[in-house]
Chain A
Amino acid sequence: MLRISVILTVTLCVCACTTAPVIKEEMRYFDGPLPSDLSGSWERNYARDDDVNAVLREAYYQLSRTSQDQYYNGNSVMVGPSSNDMASVVALARLAELITRPDVLTITQDEHEISIEREDDFAMLCSFYNGATKANQSPYGNEVCGWDGKDLVSNLVLPDGLQVTHRFTKSDDGQQLRVITTVTSKTSRLPFSLRRFYKKFEHLPSSFECIETLSMKRVCSTSEVKP
């Protein structure tokens, strides 16, 4: 039992405490065109999604198994996660849940960029030039992507050790998309991951063609708009 606890502690420490980059060097380079075409409109398949509470319960058990904290429940001495540990994981879970809330992802892709638009959030951006990924850096965080085989991995490194990672995996038939979102923080012993599943869908053809303009805002026409 003691051996298992030690192994789990080490494993958790490796997961949560190390600073190894999510996007490894080899993931930043690729030959030829982008390894996968993720473009299209994707709608959430709730039936297959992870249940946040179930994942949180699992985190609780993991923390319990590795916790040094003991408490007395009236009958016997119990071992459980500290309130700080649990609060940190719950904070990550809430953020993961917030980030993965959008029902629809709209992904556009060309030879240099993949943009993943989400409702009520910024569009994730992956840039690729000369067979390598390019980080989008700013004082507020750095966004970099990489390819793990055909999986697209986006890693957002934010201040105070907060990281948000998305792994996009397309099914072989190209109709399903799995997105694993992982939030990690220096203040939490455990990362928190949620899986979301999406189905590809086609927008119904609109009878209006619209373009954005500066002076007239959105201009729509019943036929193809010639800007």
Chain B
Amino acid sequence: MRQVRIAAMLLTLVLTGFSPAGADEPATAKSSARVALNVSIAVFDPGVPDDQSQFRDLKIFPRIRQVEARFLPFVLRDTLANSHDWGAVRVVPEPDIAAELLVTGTILRSDGAVLALKIRAVDAGGHVWLDKAFSGPVADTRAVADKSGIQQPVFAQVAVELEAAQRQRDAAELRRISDISLIRYGNRLAPSAFGQYLNEGSDGTFSLKRLPAANDPMLERIQRIRGVEYIFTDAVDTKFRELNSEIASIYALWREHRRKSLEYEKEDARWAATSTDNLERGSYESIQNIYDNYKFHRITQQEQDKLAIAFNNEVGPKVDAMEQRIAELEFWVEQRYIEWHRLLEQLFEAETQIEQ
């Protein structure tokens, strides 16, 4: 409710057409200070195949993957934020095409032993910074107290490569990315006003033709609206964080159980390979041993199924409640988008007519 009030207040400010004093300078200051891009990390693709019949073969628990898809971006977020190499690092429910740097990910594998992710990072200019698979061992989750420590090795690799990619770009280039981000954002809401500043290449990249003046009233409105959206993004981010703190310890338990299951599977395999050595073929002991090998393998699988249900029993309602709240926030923002779009287009038309 508080966010709604703040947003309503900001919306009023946006629509008043507030215009600060100042010369018609380009929108970006020519500072040589280090620029740290803002990063938006979209909720990951859970990597669940459409074909349900593959779930068992691939040992995928779809519901848990969905939870992981919301949970793991936060581990990356914390890793990036802790590096202090970036501006604001946010987790967003949907990919934001106007983000200064958008990071998307797909879970390729997640069991108790290994985490494999495909990570793609694209800047607002449409240039790909990173597009590769990362995999690494899962940290021993018995240290559940360190919530951000889970799967740290993989996310540390991602952070290092992203940081290296950022260092390859000079301050001017990073500022340009930031400018393109703002103009693309404006173009989404008021294409009549901002379309003239953008060039879209056939390869999907964007460049700036020129920038609006720093005191351009439309640009100021867009900046204010973006500020409002950030408030909502941060509200969503806070919701995600609340969820994370609630489920981190349960998730750590789940990983621990999965890790143990993998150990049991290895033990089963070792036992099956050696247990028939001294038994007479066709004897009761021999055939019972063959049957038992299968039996224990299946029981191990069943235990995993039960654990998945137990995990979902505990975490599912929390995730559902959070998703509902986020859906409400997103719906509110979507509605405002439509309204902003309409009003901004009308304002631009009115202002252009006055100038003419």
Given contacts A214-B254, A214-B311, A227-B313, contact A158 B290 (CB under 8 A): yes
**10 A-B residue pairs with CB within 8 Å:** A94-B284, A123-B298, A129-B53, A159-B293, A160-B281, A160-B290, A213-B313, A214-B314, A215-B314, A226-B317
Contact check, A213 vs B298: say whether CB atoms are below 8 A apart: no
The interface stretch among B237-245, B299-307, B346-354 is: B299-307
Q: Are A140 and B293 in contact (CB under 8 A)?
A: yes
Q: Which 3 A/B pairs are nearest by Cβ-Cβ distance? A: A187-B282, A122-B298, A129-B53
Taking Cβ atoms with an 8 Å cutoff, the residues of A that contact B are: 84, 87-88, 90-92, 94-95, 98-99, 112, 121-123, 125, 127, 129-130, 134, 136-141, 156, 158-160, 162, 164, 183, 185, 187-188, 211-216, 226-227
Is the interface on chain B under 10, 10 to 19, 20 to 34, or 35 or more residues?
A: 35 or more
Residue in B249, B257, B298, B317 whose Cβ sees the most chain A Cβ within 10 Å: B298
B310 interface contact, C-beta 8 A: yes
Least CB distance, A118 to chain B, in whole angstroms: 10
Give A206 Cβ to nearest chain B Cβ, in Å: 17
- Write the chain B residue with the least CB distance to A99: B291
Please determine whether A95 and B282 come into contact, CB atoms closer than 8 angstroms: no
Q: Is there contact, CB below 8 Å, between B294 and A140?
A: yes
Contacts of A164 in B (CB 8 A): 291
CB pair B287 A162 closer than 8 Å: yes
Given contacts A136-B56, A211-B313, contact A159 B299 (CB under 8 A): no
Complex alpha-carbon distance, A214 and B253, angstroms: 7
Q: Report the nearest B residue to A215, measured CB to CB.
A: B250
Structural contact, B56 and A122, CB atoms closer than 8 A: no
For B286, B299, B314, the residue with the greatest tally of chain A CB atoms inside 10 Å of its CB is B314
Question: With A91-B287, A127-B56 in contact, is A214–B294 under 8 Å at CB?
Answer: no
Give A93's nearest chain B residue, CB to CB.
B284
Q: How far is the CA of A112 from the CA of B56 in the complex (A)?
A: 12
Asked if A134 and B282 sit within 8 Å, CB to CB, the answer is no
Say whether B294 contacts A92, CB under 8 Å. no
In the complex, B130 has a CB within 8 A of chain A: no
Tell whether, in the assembled complex, residue B282 and residue A188 are in contact, meaning their CB atoms are under 8 Å apart.
yes
Is B297 on the interface with A (CB-CB < 8 A)?
Answer: yes
A188 to B283, CA, bound (A): 10
* A227 and B314 contact, CB distance less than 8 A: yes
Per the bound structure, the CA–CA distance linking A136 and B295 in Å amounts to 13
- If A214-B311, A215-B253 are given as contacts, then 6 extra A-B residue pairs at C-beta distance below 8 Å, sorted by A number, are A95-B287, A99-B291, A122-B298, A185-B287, A187-B282, A214-B307
Partner of B310, one of A90, A130, A212: A212
CB nearest to B306 among chain A residues: A212
Judge if B47 is at the interface, Cβ distance under 8 Å.
Answer: no
Q: Does B82 contact A (CB under 8 A)?
A: no
What B residues does A141 contact at CB under 8 A? 293-294, 297
Q: Judging by beta carbons under 8 Å apart, are A156 and B282 in contact?
A: no
Interface hits, B243-263 → A, CB 8 Å = 249-250, 253-254, 257
Closest CB in chain A relative to B268 CB, distance in Å = 8
Nearest to A124 among chain B residues (CB) is: B298
Q: How far is the CA of A134 from the CA of B284 in the complex (A)?
A: 30
A212 and chain B: residue at smallest CB distance: B310
CB nearest to A88 among chain B residues: B282
